[in-house]
Chains A and B, each alone.
Chain A
Amino acid sequence: ETGVTQTPRHLVMGMTNKKSLKCEQHLGHNAMYWYKQSAKKPLELMFVYNFKEQTENNSVPSRFSPECPNSSHLFLHLHTLQPEDSALYLCASSQDRATDTQYFGPGTRLTVL
């Protein structure tokens, strides 16, 4: 596998379920990101990790819980979500400077019933 991969590609969950999204990068990068892409809003940054440490939390509700066990893997744990959380969740990775290109995965399409 090359680039940035995300699993699952589609997920349907109820509001009381707990699920996790997984992201893996094969590019040797040090930074990883979660973004949310909703139909009616611009792409929003959620979290940034550099060298496994969280360096940005963009006021994300606690029902979203990120985990970065190493520089290649990033998870987003979901619990008690709301229907308005339905969106495309995109993972990205880059080296650790603002000038570095962010490489995006294909996303997980999440539907909350």
Chain B
Amino acid sequence: AQSVTQLDSQVPVFEEAPVELRCNYSSSVSVYLFWYVQYPNQGLQLLLKYLSGSTLVKGINGFEAEFNKSQTSFHLRKPSVHISDTAEYFCAVSEGGAQKLVFGQGTRLTINP
């Protein structure tokens, strides 16, 4: 069965510093990979997704992620964060063409001034 592990439950970062949020998954078949963001008191919003092709995926708000099949990872990065990036970030995977998304536990990103 597929699973998603987000290695850090909380990541504190100073404003304008770079950040990496880690995500590893387990699956025996081809997968689609997603990163969602949840701002306080809101639903989830898609940041980016990997379906096929180039392993480097660019998303909204300056975020990007790299799919690494050999390491079964899909880490999210941003070169310079802003206070407005404070939110919870979720990695998700769908396996074998299924609509079912399996989510990680989430990483709470806190930006300090």
Contacts and interface: CB of A to CB of B under 8 A. Distances in A.
Nearest to B36: A104
A31 B99 contact: yes
A68 to B, nearest CB: 14
Contacts, number: 57
Interface in B33-51: 34, 36, 41-46, 49, 51
Nearest to B106: A42
Interface residues of B, number: 25
Contact of B32 (A55, A90, A98): A98
Interface string B84-113: 000000101010011111111110000000
Nearest to A99: B51
A103 to B, nearest CB: 8
A104 B103 contact: no
Contacts of A105: 43
Given A42-B106, A99-B51, A104 B44 contact: yes
Contact of A48 (B4, B32, B100, B105): B100
Interface of B: 4, 32, 34, 36, 41-46, 49, 51, 90, 92, 94, 97-106
Interface of A: 4, 31, 33, 41-45, 48, 50, 55-56, 58, 90, 92, 94, 96-99, 101-107
